[in-house]
Amino acid sequence: MPWPLRWFARVLTVVLALALVLTGVVVYTVRKSFPQVDGSLRLPGLSGNVEIYRDKSGIPHIYADTAKDLFMAQGFVHAQDRFYEMDVRRHTTAGRLSELFGKTTLSNDKALRTMGWRKVAEQELPELAQETKDYLDAYAKGVNAWLSANQRASDRSLEYSILKLQNGDYRPEPWTAVDSLSWLKAMAWDLRSNMGDEIDRALSLTKLPKERVDQLYPGYPYDRHAPIVTEGAIDQNRFDQRAAPRLGPGRGERALTQAARTLDAIPNTMGTDDRDGIGSNSWVVSGEHTASGKPLLANDPHLSPQLPSIWYQAGLHCRKITEDCGYDVTGFTFSGFPGVIIGATDKISWGFTNLGPDVADLFLEQVEGDTYLYKGEQVKLETRQEQIKVAGGATVTLTVKSTRHGPLINEVIEDAKPSGEANAVALQWTALTPGRTADAVFALNKAADWQEFKAAAALFDVPAQNLVYADTTGKIGYQAPGRIPVREKGDGTYPVPGWTGEYDWNLAPIPYDQLPSVEDPAEGFIVTANNAVIDPERYRPLLTKDWAHGYRSERIRDLLRAAIEKGPIDATTMSRIQQDTRNGFAETLVPALMGVDLAGPSTRARELLKTWDGTQGLDSAPAAYFNAVWRQLLALTFHDELPQAAWPSGGDRWYEVVRRLLTLPDDPFWDDVTTKNRKETRDDILRQAMASAHQELAERLGDDVKAWRWGDLHQLELVNGSLGTSGIGPVEALFNRGPLAVPGSKDAVNATGWNVQRGYGINAVPSMRMIADLSDTDKSQWINLTGASGHAFHDNYWDQSEAWAKGSLLPMHTKQESIKKAATHTLKLTP
């Protein structure tokens, strides 16, 4: 062999050897942090042995003799699989992300410190039941036992090994009960209702007169889409399902812009950044309509996609139900918090959707120096100093100022000098007052019947949720819980002046006994999908005016009625409804498109819509074209007159806006104000939207319109919430997965949301799906968006994702016999 070839062969051998060594190091580093799931481990602090069974999906079922042991073991298991996620979450909620990631997250920390989530959690802890505090402490002990046994970065997870390269001095602190409670504030923030709409209305007022802004916020269509509760009223200071209604008749642009920027800086831990908000579906069907004769309950909360998923599936089982250990519950948990959030016991099941009441108001304030104006007097601002440590940089001092209405949220914008009559914005929000939601979780997990369930719901302060219920005796029900304010004046739709005092909240919220509730309704089912809770004609206390507009809920109701007419329904029927992809606005918009004179190549694309049934499957060419037309239509109609922050995102509020505009062909919104000497009408904009959509898809998907596929546009990227957004390609590749083509669309029942301003990529998903069978909870089914593990490259990191995308479900075992039979791993924890 000539010497150049010999030299090349030697170099290649060395390179390959180094690559193998490097690969071996990476593989060793990755696998070193995988949890032990078989054999035996000592867990100091336990009072007795605990057994943990895991199935092939890595889902743990924990068995213990005492509740404290049960929750201590849950803390240990959460830490095994998800500690890095937990650690990032607690830094997020405390406004301490910069300690991990440096100055890039400083704006997030400033916004969170201004809100003061952790301070509220610190105030909340002493007010909780002693039992709850004991369980939070037991959970923390379990987390810390794992942390003590995993001191090195490589022991904890791959993320810590990478973080060590940038921030070598970082060491995780011990877990505390307050770390767990703070996460509830993040949940409340992402489900906070209409604050985005409130800001958008105010910003739109700077460009348009109020009557035109009001056009963009149509009322709920009670005549077409039923509310959740269709019977009952408040009678003798209580909501009575049988009662008949008896009702009587019934500013600062720059500061607001700064406030909007502050709110945008707060990380969305669960929800999306769409101003139209997030959604969820849940419904429950009485045994009179089911094949088993017992209720079925379905739930799929719609949240932002995350890797790992927001949810962690688990079972918590006392070996013997006693006074000291009263838990036998399986469901979806939050890593970082003990107990089950949504799930089933051996007697009941429950689900959540966002009720969406107006629990936050923006107060415009007049601030002068260290005072603010209130009822004609200058009142001293409350202030506090926050020290924000920054990895690799100097500590930053933040001064947080508050009025009686709450923190000044525009204050965290550097170099901001608001002016005018209103020069500051304060946020009043129910979650900034200590509450008892933590007590509610443990009470729900032990509830055995409707009355115990309602008593538990009474403790659920924030976020206010629609709770649906079913039990093994056959009862179904609905309860609206939550701390919902009573206003002296106003309806919460616009920011209001704080200096007059006339818009202040009453000290007491709407009493729990007056909140809507239903049990065993005559039609035999209850549907919640963020639609209106109850018609204001029969219910006077203001819940909100900004509901989802009922397209999902009415579709579910229609599908249920059709299924019931064909005969008893089963879990397969419930799953099929969860997978429904029909676009609820197609039947309105398509006829309008067909009625427009059209010429040129876009006529071939429009032909796709002639026989389209409105479904949005992966292979659908009509769905691809329709959604492209919808995107173009909203941009052409509204971008010219609205401030960019208020541009449409495309949800069902905009269905209602455009539905009404279609009946007004000469409405000013159709006119493009940027064109001179021309006034566009409805048909001009529809024609241009179809042409622009055809051009867009031809460039992206080719000229053959019949070959277009919705799944080629509508895809889900699973992105790790911290290092997956680092901007460093090789690092992101370690933690991110996808893309997955997924059917459905925003405000279909299968609500895979997208924002028309950003393209067709998915930004909200059914974060999990559950169907509980009350004839035998062991026949229940579930699926998670990703998987049990938070460890990249673990078999359970995203093993449920493809099944989720296809609409499949896994067995949701609840009984010990089936749990043991399905177990592929068994771990014993000993004192």
Residues of the chain with pLDDT under 70: 1-29, 192-193, 246-278, 412-420
pLDDT value of position 615: 98
**Is residue 25 assigned to a domain?**
yes
Nearest to 37 by CA among 8, 62, 14: 62
Q: Alpha carbon of 554 to those of 79, 400, 539, 651: distances in Å?
A: 41, 45, 21, 15
pLDDT value of position 30: 78
If 0-12 CB within 10 Å is exposed, 13-18 middle and 19+ buried, where does residue 167 land? middle
Q: Which residue has the tokens 């799931």?
A: 37
Rounded to whole angstroms, the Cα distance separating 213 from 211 reads 6
**Is residue 786 assigned to a domain?**
no
Q: Residues 583, 626: contact at Cβ < 8 Å? A: yes
Contacts of 281 (CB under 8 A, 6+ apart): 298, 299, 300, 302, 353, 528, 529, 552, 553, 556, 578, 749, 751, 766
pLDDT value of position 576: 98
Rounded to whole angstroms, the Cα distance separating 357 from 372 reads 29
pTM: 0.94
Rounded to whole angstroms, the Cα distance separating 794 from 157 reads 11
Q: Residues 491, 357: contact at Cβ < 8 Å? A: no
CA 102 to chain centre: 27
**Is residue 650 assigned to a domain?**
yes
Which of 668, 695, 713 is a domain's end point?
Answer: 713
DSSP symbol at 227:
-
Q: Residues 533, 480: contact at Cβ < 8 Å? A: yes
**Is residue 574 assigned to a domain?**
no
* CATH number of domain containing 593: 1.10.1400.10
Q: Residues 670, 685: contact at Cβ < 8 Å? A: yes
Structurally, the chain folds into a number of domains equal to: 2
CA 400 to chain centre: 28
Q: Name the amino acid, one letter, at 118.
A: R
**Is residue 659 assigned to a domain?**
yes
664 C-beta neighbours (distance < 10 Å), count: 13
Instruction: Please report the sign of the dihedral spanned by the C-alpha atoms of residue 185, residue 186, residue 188, residue 193.
Output: positive
**Is residue 682 assigned to a domain?**
yes
Q: Residues 805, 783: contact at Cβ < 8 Å? A: no
**Is residue 704 assigned to a domain?**
yes
CA within 13 Å, CB half, 443: 19
Q: Residues 73, 60: contact at Cβ < 8 Å? A: no
Q: Residue 11's domain spans which residues?
A: 1-32
Which of 679, 694, 713 is a domain's end point?
Answer: 713
**Is residue 398 assigned to a domain?**
no
